Homo-oligomer: A and B are copies of this chain.
Amino acid sequence: MNSSTKPSAGEAVVHVPIEAVDRFCREVFAAVGADEATADAATRAMIHGSRLGVDSHGVRLLAHYVKVMNGGRLNRTPNVRIVQSFGAVASLDTDHGHGALGAYRAMEHAVELAGTFGIGAVSIRNSSHFGPAGAYVMEAARRGFVGLAVCNSDSFVRLHDGAMRFHGTNPIAFAVPVAGDNPWLLDMATSAVPYNRVQLYRSLGMQLPEGVASEADGSNTLDPSLVEMLAPVGGEFGFKGAGLAGFAEILSAVFSGMKLSFDILPMNGPDVSTPRGLGAFVLALKPGAFVSEETFQAGMQRYVEVLRTSPAREGMTVMAPGDREWRVACEREQTGVPLDPATRDAFAELAEHHRLTPPFGQ
């Protein structure tokens, strides 16, 4: 790469066509020795994030994944397999491979089980950071099934009235197919805000909203520089957010025999060689096993139609879960995905190191 045209960190965000970023991610994974299944799963999950505007779980993660593959934490050629089966449920071992590979495989199997039994659930062992939970439930919805996915992660969120990093941001994702339309797609962290929101406010020198983050003693703060932990969603009803985080924690970690959030090595810590022992959990439901497909589809269509046309607060718009994301996806299919300066620089370095063409041209 010609260093005179290499974009520098001082420049603004660049927009890059989705296909170009997709191609680049796959080439990088191949260059660092990841097998094709890993490259495919990790790329698809990141592109889901970048396409739908969930940039924290988008292609900015590429450099991180490469680092932990090189460090040995992530198995580049894992033997992902079902290690336990019982009726309509199974346990899948990701063999310390990429979390996206484990989660896609698990959801595929859950959908297969749901096709046979009306419902299927797969617990995931020996996994790693899986990125956007919404990516996996979308796979269920794409096939006409309802999908649920949860995971836990290294702890960063206090309990209600707690003063310790206890849960991860433990997301809950749920997708429901809607005939002739985008799925209804909920993908929410059980913390009030993601940590990168705190970082954004810090870099902008702005005060945080009330009740979203806390100091070391658990008391809330508006100053992003004092933040030691996030608050569970719900504010003064944070026991609900903490309870939902527990729902994700129990299904992800206890059902898989994996580490609880407070025992997990930090994602961005100095140790990049020790597998982190993450769990996760996916579930699929076949609507037609409960009511006729026609009844189900008519119900969903009426639900989202009444929702989208319902009265809004002054100056606001009412949206179904996922509507904001589909809007962003539409836009980004035209304009490309934004690469922040740090991600762009990381891409340039990866391209240079592996003699690849970066997605933003030379």
Contact = CB atoms under 8 A, between A and B. Distances in A.
Contacts of A176: 250, 254
A253 B300 CA distance: 9
Quickly give the copy total for this chain. Answer: 2
A235 B211 CA distance: 10
A264 B249 CA distance: 34
Contacts of A307: 159, 166
A236 interface: yes
A342 interface: no
A43 interface: no
A284 to B, nearest CB: 11
Q: Please report whether the interface of chain A is mostly helix, strand, loop or mixed according to DSSP.
A: mixed
A17 interface: no
A145 to B, nearest CB: 12
A72 interface: no
A91 B159 CA distance: 37
Given A233-B237, A318-B162, A219 B313 contact: yes
Contacts of A287: 254-255
Given A118-B88, A119-B119, A243 B311 contact: no
Given A303-B254, A313-B163, A314-B219, A118 B118 contact: no
Contacts of A310: 159, 162-164, 166
Interface residues of A, number: 82
A161 B289 CA distance: 34
Interface in A274-331: 283, 285-287, 289-292, 295-296, 299-300, 302-303, 306-307, 310-314, 316-321
A313 B117 contact: no
Given A86-B118, A88-B88, A254-B287, 5 more contacts: A119-B121, A162-B318, A217-B313, A218-B312, A255-B290
A140 interface: no
Nearest to A166: B310
Interface string A177-206: 000000010101000110000000000000
B246 A184 contact: yes
Report, nearest first, the 9 A-B pairs whose CB atoms are least far apart.
A87-B117, A89-B118, A218-B313, A86-B289, A254-B299, A161-B316, A186-B243, A86-B118, A88-B117
Interface in A114-150: 116-121, 123, 146
A211 B257 CA distance: 39
Contacts of A239: 188, 319, 321
B250 A119 contact: no
A244 interface: yes
A300 B119 CA distance: 25
A260 interface: yes
